[in-house]
Amino acid sequence: MDYLEIEGGHKLSGEISISGAKNAALPLIAAALLSNKPVTLTNLPNVVDIRTLLKLLEMLGAKISHNDTTAVIDCSNISSTKAVYEIVSKMRASILVLGPLLSRFHECSVSLPGGCAIGQRPIDLHLKAIETLGASVNLEQGYVVAKAPKGLKGDKIIFDKITVGGTENAVMAAAMAQGVTEIINAAKEPEVVQLCQMLNMGGAKIEGIGSSKLKIYGTGGKPLEFKEPIRVIPDRIEAGTYLCAGAITYSKISLNNVNVEHIQAVLDKLEAMGCSFDIKNDKITLLPAKELKGVNVVTAEYPGFPTDMQAQIMAVATIANSESLIEERLFENRFMHVSELNRLGADIWLKGNIAAVKPVKELKGADVMATDLRASSALVIAALAAKGITRVRRIYHLDRGYDRLEEKLSSLGAKIERKKE
């Protein structure tokens, strides 16, 4: 099994380019199922999760040509509407095929998902949304079997809780439904916005994009058509992760291809810790703090501080000069990085969903284990600042979502190497 060996204590410098957003690309790939003509997606990140979803679409009968950053997906000859356990169990986001398959083919069965073990992560809200649009839903041998023989019908979906994937599934289901669907308490994440823009271009009319109330005028069964290539937005979590790598090593680094508006909440917290930024169009330069200060963070839905950045900012906070309090409000079990950070010499205490990060003078290299995607990147960040050698194991988590991580970090001067056990 591969692991990363990192020699900490080196400053970073230079610039790298941020890849397309995995979490934006996944629903765009699923949305290709709404068309019977080829769809071209560009600026895809070269990560395992993208290949997993493309594989799933291929198993359904899609014809796909894919190189590192571009995929042409042709769903004109879909031969199966069953998303099998072998794929769905690898990646929770596979559930995103539920809405488009049901909307276009009026029936589908999708295995209950797996993915990062960061809490219960139910799919009840996804199911409630499609039921509201008239589908019958049954659970049979670990599969969600959904049927709407006469097609889906627009209605009012009210989400009790804000859900990114649930909103994405609901808008894709509504896109080819008959009539108008309203979604109340919709997620406003940039990834949801890009999906809505794509569906708009394809022939479904969506109002309220970027707000918590979406109105979708379905095409009444007509497949969507995406004439122009769609360029995936920059990955805001990848950008935030590299900014944390720069912050913890007191380094000046620049990132190209960043949408600064999308990472404002992260910039605000890094500023509170003493960092500053020079921003020119889509390029951001981190100017390191003189001395990192403690910070209080509460995760929230967009535009709040992203839960996907909670582990990374915690890594930076470990060597600040005062205590930080970090509260996780989205996922109940998203603190698995805490014990591993403590192995590196951090002093973090957990009480319920709050982590108290007490300041330590320095981190020290150790063997640690990656537990989920973002937790893994937090360990890499900590390792960059830790004295001596750190080995991060189980990095298949990282490969799911970070495009050429060690290559990008090496180009910034980090001493990082992928090795085999």
Binding-site member from 3, 4, 16, 23 for ligand UD1 (CB under 6 A): 23
Annotated active-site residue 196? The verdict is no
Smallest gap from residue 159 Cβ to ligand UD1 (A) = 9
User: What is the 3-class SS of the chain, one letter each residue?
Assistant: CEEEEEECCCCCEEEEECCECHHHHHHHHHHHHHECCCEEEECCCCCHHHHHHHHHHHHHCCEEEECCCCEEEECCCCCCCEECHHHHCCCHHHHHHHHHHHHHHCEEEEECCCCCCCCCCCCHHHHHHHHHCCCEEEEECCEEEEECCCCCECCEEECCCCCHHHHHHHHHHHHCCECEEEEECCCCCHHHHHHHHHHHHHCCEEECCCCCEEEEECCCCCCECCCCCEECCECHHHHHHHHHHHHHCCCEEEEECCCHHHHHHHHHHHHHCCCEEEEECCEEEEECCCCCCCCEEEECCCCCECHHHHHHHHHHHCCCCCCEEEECCCCCCCCCHHHHHHHCCCEEEEECCEEEEECCCCCECCEEECCCHHHHHHHHHHHHHCECEEEEECCHHHHHHCCCHHHHHHHCCCEEEEEEC
Site residues for ligand UD1, 331-390, by CB under 6 A, read 331
Site string for ligand UD1, 289-328 (x = CB under 6 A): ------------------xx--------------------
Smallest gap from residue 163 Cβ to ligand UD1 (A) = 3
Smallest gap from residue 306 Cβ to ligand UD1 (A) = 6
Nearer to ligand UD1, 50 or 344 (CB): 50
Smallest gap from residue 32 Cβ to ligand UD1 (A) = 16
Give the active site residue among 116, 196, 244, 275: 116
Query: Which tokens hold the place of 111?
Result: 């295995």
Nearer to ligand UD1, 119 or 294 (CB): 119
Site residues for ligand UD1, 141-180, by CB under 6 A, read 161, 163-166
Burial class (CB in 10 A: 0-12, 13-18, 19+), 198: buried
Nearer to ligand UD1, 26 or 224 (CB): 26
Nearer to ligand UD1, 74 or 191 (CB): 191
How many of the chain's residues bind ligand UD1 (CB under 6 A)? 22
Nearer to ligand UD1, 91 or 275 (CB): 91
- Closest residue (Cβ) to ligand UD1? 165
Nearer to ligand UD1, 238 or 406 (CB): 238
Nearer to ligand UD1, 96 or 320 (CB): 96
54 lies in the binding site for ligand UD1 (CB under 6 A)? no
Site residues for ligand UD1, 177-206, by CB under 6 A, read 191
Site string for ligand UD1, 107-126 (x = CB under 6 A): ------------xxxxxxxx
Binding-site member from 18, 26, 270, 289 for ligand UD1 (CB under 6 A): 26
Smallest gap from residue 261 Cβ to ligand UD1 (A) = 17
Site string for ligand UD1, 55-94 (x = CB under 6 A): -------------------------------------xx-
Q: How far apart are CA 183 and CA 192, in angstroms?
A: 13
Site residues for ligand UD1, 257-296, by CB under 6 A, read none
330 lies in the binding site for ligand UD1 (CB under 6 A)? yes
Buried b vs exposed e over 92-124: b needs ≥16 C-beta within 10 Å? bbbbbbbbbbbbbbbebbbbbbebbebeebebe
Nearer to ligand UD1, 35 or 163 (CB): 163
Smallest gap from residue 235 Cβ to ligand UD1 (A) = 11
Smallest gap from residue 23 Cβ to ligand UD1 (A) = 3
Strand order through the sheet with 205-207 = 156-158, 180-184, 213-217, 205-207
Active site amino acids: 116
Positions that interact with ligand UD1 (CB under 6 A): 23, 26, 92-93, 119-126, 161, 163-166, 191, 307-308, 330-331
